[in-house]
Chains A and B, each alone.
Chain A
Amino acid sequence: DGGITQSPKYLFRKEGQNVTLSCEQNLNHDAMYWYRQDPGQGLRLIYYSQIVNDFQKGDIAEGYSVSREKKESFPLTVTSAQKNPTAFYLCASSVQTETNYGYTFGSGTRLTVV
């Protein structure tokens, strides 16, 4: 079955460390997205990518970096420059040229700074 996989489900980071969250999809979707969700709040867009080797900043890109070397993969790195990284991170993908299908979401990664 096609889907989108995020790993790990839970991640702990020490202050000053970089960590990378994995996102892989086998849906042959062109576009991929990273969102941050804080408790009781909506989704905030971090980065998005419409094609391989290209990506754009979203609303809260500071302290984060991404790469899109393969169509299937869109990893997110939370750098030490992100001062408040504890949150729930969601990856999503979509068929770029068709707006009617919406997004497919992964099950999320919960990142905690210890």
Chain B
Amino acid sequence: GNSVTQMEGPVTLSEEAFLTINCTYTATGYPSLFWYVQYPGEGLQLLLKATKADDKGSNKGFEATYRKETTSFHLEKGSVQVSDSAVYFCALSSKGSARQLTFGSGTQLTVLP
């Protein structure tokens, strides 16, 4: 079956530091890959996505590249801000799966001023 593995948190960084959150997946076929962000007390918001190998999703300074050879979709940002503090979820979606999205366990990011 499908599965998503994220690096465990929590992750604490200083403002302007470089961020990487690792995500690897197991899936049949060619899934679409997503990063969602959850701010405290809120629902999840789509941050970025990639639908085929070598695609790069980007939004708000965050980037992730769909690497089929390593089955990875690592999230990166060159310079984090305090406002980036949130929980980040990696997810995949594959055709033929009635449940559509499979989520990772989430990574808590705290950025200190």
Contacts and interface: CB of A to CB of B under 8 A. Distances in A.
A58 B100 contact: no
Interface string B88-113: 01010111001111011110100000
B93 A48 contact: no
Interface of B: 31-32, 34, 36, 41-46, 49, 51, 89, 91, 93-95, 98-101, 103-106, 108
Contacts of B91: 102
A72 to B, nearest CB: 18
Contacts of A103: 44, 46, 100-101
A82 interface: no
Top-10 shortest CB links A-B: A105-B43, A42-B105, A99-B93, A105-B44, A107-B43, A102-B34, A100-B51, A108-B43, A42-B106, A43-B103
A42 B103 contact: yes
Interface string A35-72: 00000111101001010000010100000000000000
B89 A42 contact: yes
A40 B51 CA distance: 29
A6 B89 CA distance: 21
Contact of A102 (B49, B95, B99): B49
Contacts of A6: 43
Contacts of B108: 40
A48 B98 CA distance: 9
B27 to A, nearest CB: 11
Nearest to A105: B43
Given A42-B103, A105-B43, A108-B43, 17 more contacts: A6-B43, A42-B104, A43-B103, A48-B98, A58-B99, A90-B43, A99-B31, A99-B95, A100-B49, A102-B32, A102-B46, A102-B101, A103-B46, A103-B101, A104-B46, A107-B43, A108-B42
Contacts of B31: 99
A94 interface: yes
